[in-house]
Amino acid sequence: MATRKEFLIKSSLAVGAGVLGLSSSAQGGNQASTTAPFRAGGGRLPLAIATWNNLGATNGAWQVFLKGGTALDAVEAGVRVPEADPENQSVGFGGLPDRDGHVTLDACIMDKDGRAGSVCFLENIMHPISVARRVMEKTPHVMMSGEGAFKFAIDNGFKKENLLTEKSKKAWEEWKKESRYAPIVNFENHDTIGMLALDKDNNIAGACTTSGLAYKMHGRVGDSPIIGAGMFCDNEVGGACATGVGELVMKTLGSFLIVELMRQGRTPQMACEEAIHRIVKKQDYQKSQVGFLAVNKNGDIGSYSLQKGFTYTLYANNENKVFDSDYFSKR
């Protein structure tokens, strides 16, 4: 199986054709269908979608739905799964550190009413997504950062924890031998989980969480906590989220762009493709990856990426499956 590092430079995942340009693959014991659904189960609700092979995360969201929970509760519960997984070195506990050895976390969340919460450059708190939700619900602010975000978390009952696992520490120590750092060409194992959900009442919510670029400069913050970049949703239209090199997403506010294009009548697929084309037109993208994922209020799905290899997970109609996305660079 290809690693995310291999994906970001030269992915070995096969991609087929179709309306979404997708061929399915069996991952985590779940056999996907031969083509991804343009409409998730004919518009049946609820549904949860997430970037990458995140079957555990979408299952976590689905468990909330089984109890009659909201889309907001579902996306929070869903992304908390990889946040707590020490084997996932790109999100939360066990995330690869920055070049100074600090695990710094970014996250954001939005609900059906357009409320939003965000934290960035947060250390020693396992679940930044839950801190972001607390910011949304308990303060007049949208974003908190660094020491202020940490103090806010502690004051609200979160526990201080060492997030640097022995596995990630060893990887960092090995990296330091050469200290090869390229913020544009992402050599390191990096990923973000973005999740969107529609509940039984057809209300939307979104979440995004990451430990960011491995071995990044201390203090660097990417797109994940930026409302409109890493994730955006509007209950009149739908939602979108992003993964990959955050600098490219931030310069185009890709998630906001996709939602606004859907508002103007484009399908989620068309909107994702246009967001990628904006990057292609104006930025040096050849050695970088960005993937977009979107859903509208009809349950129509869209996904598109710069390079081959982007996947997403869809839980709908009691089926949890991973699909390969279409992509721009087919040379």
Catalytic annotation present for 192: yes
Written as tens digits, the pLDDT of the chain (331 aa) is 444 434 333 333 332 333 333 332 333 335 343 334 445 445 679 999 999 999 999 999 999 999 999 999 999 999 999 999 988 888 888 889 999 999 999 999 999 999 999 999 999 999 999 999 999 999 999 999 999 999 999 999 999 999 999 999 999 999 988 877 654 333 333 468 999 999 999 999 999 999 998 899 999 999 999 999 999 999 999 999 999 999 999 999 999 999 999 999 999 999 999 999 999 999 999 989 999 999 999 999 999 999 999 999 999 999 999 999 999 998 6
CA distance 4 to 187: 10
Q: Where are the beta strands (DSSP E) in the chain?
A: 47-51, 105-110, 116-122, 143-145, 193-198, 204-210, 231-234, 238-244, 290-296, 301-305, 311-316, 319-324
Residue 148 CB contacts under 8 Å (≥ 6 apart), including other chains: none
Q: Give 311's strand partners.
A: 324
Domain boundaries, the chain: 38-324
| pTM of the predicted model as reported, rounded to 2 decimal places | 0.87
Residue 305 in contact with residue 289, Cβ under 8 Å?
yes
Over 195-253, what HEC string results? EEEECCCCCEEEEEEECCCCCCCCCCCCCCCCECCCEEEECCCEEEEEEECHHHHHCCC
CA distance 92 to 106: 9
Tell me, what's the pLDDT at 182?
A: 55
Q: Give 50's strand partners.
A: 195, 313
CA distance 108 to 78: 13
Judged by DSSP in three states, 111 sits in: coil
Tell me, what's the pLDDT at 138?
A: 98
Tell me, what's the pLDDT at 41?
A: 44
What's the token pair of residue 242? 């992003």
Tell me, what's the pLDDT at 136?
A: 98
CA distance 319 to 47: 10
Dihedral of the CA atoms 174, 175, 178, 179 (nearest 10)? Answer: -150
CA distance 274 to 262: 11
Burial 236-270 (b: 16+ CB within 10 A, else e): ebbbbbbbbbbbbbbebbbbbbbbbbbeeebbbbb
Tell me, what's the pLDDT at 181?
A: 62
Neighbouring C-beta atoms of residue 164, cutoff 10 Å: 18
Given 51, 58, 192, 267, the catalytic residue = 192
Specify the CATH architecture of the domain 38-324. Answer: 4-Layer Sandwich (3.60)
